Structure 1
Amino acid sequence: MGDQTAPEVAPARPAPEVAVVVVNHNTSDDLLACLATLEGAGTDEVVVVDSGSTDGSLAAVERRFPDVATLGLDNVGFGRAANAGVALTTARAVVLCNADTRFPYASVRALGEYLTAHPDVGALGPLIRFPDGRLQLSARAFPSIRQAIGHALFGLWWPRNPWTRAYRLTDWDHASERDVDWLSGCCLAARRDAFEAVGGFDPAYFMFVEDVDLCDRLAQAGWRVVFAPVAEVVHVVGGAVSRRRLRMAFEHARSLDRYFAKRYAGGWRRGLRPLIRLGLAGWLVAVTMWTAARGRTHGHA
């Protein structure tokens, strides 16, 4: 009889631990810079979802980063695009980010490891800085009606006002982890089973506030929403938003109106809607004036 030695079987590849989904719209240079930083960040999967770009973003990615998975969509907004990207991954943790995010060495791995070690955490936010090193206040509280109106009217011109400090958690140094109400979607790590259990981002939000809504629904479903400075990333704040500042301010106000309509939909709270809309109108006027005076988006504030 001949040699009956069984053929060698390659060991099974471990399941991906953490994926990154990058949502892009007409920010090719930012996107390429983001992907370059991901090469050392410790990610197992990377997916780029392009939302209706006309600047050749996907072609640039395919040339420079042929191993990165890509998906081209119409301009469907951040939430819908992010949901589509998550559906293409299999990792147990997914980092969702804008293309203007930069990831230091091993930062993605640290976020994935934290979620693995804390099975009750549904969403995790890293420490985020502007390129000049300033802290970006990316973890915030759900404001009361009084805080929301005070922040809307005075936040840009008088940033140390008591309502904005309470909403932005300004008096906390961000050096320690804590449970928070919501995290900025510019860079947010989500546990897959938690994200899928609540249906991901609500696609009805074109952009802005989908992160607030997601964190709210995660908390209602029993998941913790946590800020932990186990990783630090840089958020440039710009790209598509900076080029269309006034339109983006309007989109932000419209998304806020939708969110408050859901949050204050029933009972006596319904009567607060006119007051909330008045506050939003004041906020939109303040943002428009601030943007015209400073020549930059309110996201830089």
Structure 2
Amino acid sequence: MSTLPRLSVLICTRNRREKLGRTLASLLAQEYPAERMDLVLLDDASDDGSAAAADGLLGAFAAAGWRGARLLRNPSRADIARGRERLQGELAGESAYALYLDDDVVLPPGLVSSLISGAERDPSLGVAGPRLCFLSGPDRTAHCANFVGRFTGRYREKDAAVPLDCDWLNSSCLLIRTGALRKSGGFCGSYVTAHEEVDFCLGAGLAGFRVRYFPAVRVLHDIDIKSPKKERLYYLYRNKLWVIRRNFSFPLKALQLAFLLLGGTPLHILDSLRRNGGVDPPELALILKAAVAGAFGPVPRRGRL
């Protein structure tokens, strides 16, 4: 019997029946020993038949020798951050790693083996992620290594040809050492949507773990970069300020908040004017509300799982 580390695969899904089927098919094709893996799939109140379709696919994992494959259902929509927070409570007790996946990724057969092999070589490595490429253009990188400006709080990305330590990685495909998940407090569901992976990765760093980008491992992501939906704008703006308040200390925190409020808020307003072809009073009010809530409102405390 294999002695390789045990892995729990955690997937949130909502209304992506066909894409989810493709993701699960690529998961079944992994070269990692099936008896060392289990799957927990959370349906976030889909109304397109995703849950029923997924339930019908889980038998294939049992037939392939996986240790387990379960479907959980939210009675009402909770959104992605709440889903990730719930799933971390469903980890198998023996699992050394958790692999978070979005329901619209396509994995190469060696994905699990490559990331776990990289993590096992360095006990200080808590978070590992691949190069995420566009499914519509596999030669184009969608997500790579990310950093948070020490004095500005601004995000920047950096690609590389070799493994690179960074501040945070996109959570569409993210391998996490369970010790890092527990000691950092895991994902904070109060983010609802946007920036929860930034917060988690920075928290893992504060807990003493490294975050590393593995560019040679490529995963396809079925996304298009486009303007955010209006219902997400509040969380995009508020949550960025939460990230700073939860993960940095004075005086850096004060500098970053000042930069983001004085420099970022006017840019958000200008972007709104451009996007809407003029003044959209409800959207401008939302931007200002998000700035006040993010900078001065209550922030969830970081704990341990």
Tell me the TM-score normalized by structure 2: 0.74
Kept in 2: contact 1:28–1:55 (CA 8 A): yes
**In the alignment, what sits opposite 1:143?**
149
Following superposition, the deviation at residue 146 of structure 1 comes to: 4.3
**In the alignment, what sits opposite 1:47?**
40
Distance 1:105 1:86 in 2: 24
Distance 1:261 1:246 in 2: 24
Q: Write the deviation string for residues 239-296 of structure 1: whole angstroms up to 9, x where unpaired.
A: xx97972322332222112223334665584476354224343443465577679xxx
Matching residue's letter, 1:75: R
Matching residue's letter, 1:40: A
**In the alignment, what sits opposite 1:190?**
176
Matching residue's letter, 1:247: E
Distance 1:277 1:123 in 2: 30
Distance 2:205 2:256 in 1: 23
Distance 2:255 2:148 in 1: 19
Distance 2:276 2:223 in 1: 17
1:109 and 2:113 correspond: yes
Q: Which stretch of structure 1 is more off in the superposition, 84-93 or 193-202?
A: 84-93
Q: Which stretch of structure 1 is more off in the superposition, 125-134 or 107-116?
A: 107-116
Matching residue's letter, 2:179: D
The alignment partner of 2:190 has SS state of coil
**Change over 3 Å in CA distance of 1:269–1:108 after alignment to 2:** closer
**Change over 3 Å in CA distance of 1:53–1:71 after alignment to 2:** same
1:26 and 2:15 correspond: yes
Following superposition, the deviation at residue 187 of structure 1 comes to: 1.3
Matches within 5 A, 1:19-98: 19-41=8-30, 42=32, 44-66=37-59, 67=61, 68-73=69-74, 74-90=76-92, 91-98=95-102
Following superposition, the deviation at residue 204 of structure 1 comes to: 1.6
**Change over 3 Å in CA distance of 1:291–1:250 after alignment to 2:** farther
1:229 and 2:215 correspond: yes
Distance 1:28 1:290 in 2: 35
Kept in 2: contact 1:111–1:189 (CA 8 A): yes
Kept in 2: contact 1:264–1:272 (CA 8 A): no
Kept in 2: contact 1:145–1:276 (CA 8 A): no
Matching residue's letter, 1:96: Y
Distance 1:192 1:287 in 2: 40
**Residue correspondences, number:** 260
Matching residue's letter, 2:58: F
**Change over 3 Å in CA distance of 1:29–1:285 after alignment to 2:** farther
Distance 2:166 2:227 in 1: 31
**Change over 3 Å in CA distance of 1:82–1:263 after alignment to 2:** closer
The alignment partner of 1:188 has SS state of strand
The alignment partner of 1:168 has SS state of strand
Structure 1 segments unaligned to the other structure (5+ residues): 1-11, 152-166, 294-301
**Change over 3 Å in CA distance of 1:99–1:268 after alignment to 2:** closer
Kept in 1: contact 2:202–2:247 (CA 8 A): no
Q: Write the deviation string for residues 46-99 of structure 1: whole angstroms up to 9, x where unpaired.
A: 221122322221111012333431111232232331232233232211111211
Please give the root-mean-square deviation of Cα atoms over the aligned residues, in Å. Answer: 2.9
Kept in 2: contact 1:249–1:284 (CA 8 A): no
Matches within 5 A, 1:258-273: 258-263=242-247, 266=250, 269-270=253-254, 273=257
**In the alignment, what sits opposite 2:133?**
129
Kept in 1: contact 2:152–2:256 (CA 8 A): no
- Higher Cα Rg: structure 1 or 2? 1
**Change over 3 Å in CA distance of 1:277–1:20 after alignment to 2:** same
The alignment partner of 1:252 has SS state of helix
The alignment partner of 2:39 has SS state of strand
Distance 2:173 2:58 in 1: 21
